[in-house]
Amino acid sequence: MFFEKFRMDGQTAVVTGGGRGIGLACAEALAEAGARVVIIDRDEAVAESGRQALAGKGIEADALVLDVTDSAAVDKAAADIFAKHGRIDALVANAGIARTGTAAEDTPDELWLNVNDVNYNGVFWCNRTFGRYMLKAGHGAIVNIGSMSGYIANRPQLQTYYNASKAAVHHLTASLAVEWADRGVRVNAVAPTYIETEMTKSVVDKSMMDIWLRDTPMGRMGQPHEIASVVHFLACDASSLITGATVKADGGFTCW
């Protein structure tokens, strides 16, 4: 009976940026819990490779190509998913970009706008649109992927635009949670530490890695499945009393 709360049988779950990395691990976790999963990714090849990776594990998922910065396309995708599955129970708003390495004083408008467009606007468009379906049903759970960078300024890499976008996601999460709490829709976030994905592989070198690990009490990076299990908990009824929370999954990074 107790573990029934962790099951998501018959539910439909949408994961943005679900073609690889943390998003793909989340898709797998929610599918294992019984949900029908829809992967959204802006990159068609990545979306398809994610779908195939799940198929290789016996999970039949849908893959949709969509850029979350396009709010009209988000509306259309949600309508299509609802038309096909008849319900939308969970959203993992995970799609994000980093583009680290530019000092604040040198940040061009384009960089600031692009990172915030994906990481912040895109999260809001998805929360707003998929949230509408959940509010109508009086049931649903949203999990936004923030970052420990929403609490700290990373070192040594410079990324003011990224840090600010993730802090905004955390507060957006709390604000939506309050608005929707008495209408059956929970909104939470996860704030990961450095996770071994393409995103971190593309920026890290040996000297940077030494600093990252030294700054992490656990002394290691995280794996995508270590975020997916937290996301699963927040997406299912096991967390029925939790809303507006940003759960740090950071190996203790923000404690120092």
Ranges within 35-94 binding ligand NAD (CB under 6 A): 41-43, 46, 67-69, 94
CA-to-CA dists, residue 53 to 46, 140, 237, angstroms: 10, 27, 27
Cβ 139 to ligand NAD shortest distance, Å: 25
Question: Which pair of tokens denotes residue 157?
Answer: 């890499």
Q: How far apart are CA 223 and CA 9, in angstroms?
A: 26
Nearest in space to 98 (alpha carbons), one of 22, 203, 216, 212 = 203
Asked if omega into 108 is within 30° of 0 (cis), the reply is: no
- The single residue among 17, 131, 140, 251 that binds ligand NAD, judged by CB under 6 A, is 17
Q: Is 20 in the site for ligand NAD (CB under 6 A)?
A: yes
- The single residue among 195, 228, 230, 247 that binds ligand NAD, judged by CB under 6 A, is 195
Q: Is 19 in the site for ligand NAD (CB under 6 A)?
A: yes
Cβ 202 to ligand NAD shortest distance, Å: 8
Q: How far apart are CA 153 and CA 147, in angstroms?
A: 11
Q: Assess contact for 145 and 94: CB atoms under 8 A.
A: yes
Q: How far apart are CA 206 and CA 14, in angstroms?
A: 36
139/170 with CB nearer ligand NAD: 170
- x/- contact string, 199-228, with ligand NAD (CB under 6 A)? xx----------------------------
Cβ 182 to ligand NAD shortest distance, Å: 29
Whether 162 is a known active-site residue: answer yes
Q: Is 188 in the site for ligand NAD (CB under 6 A)?
A: no
Q: Which residues are catalytic?
A: 162
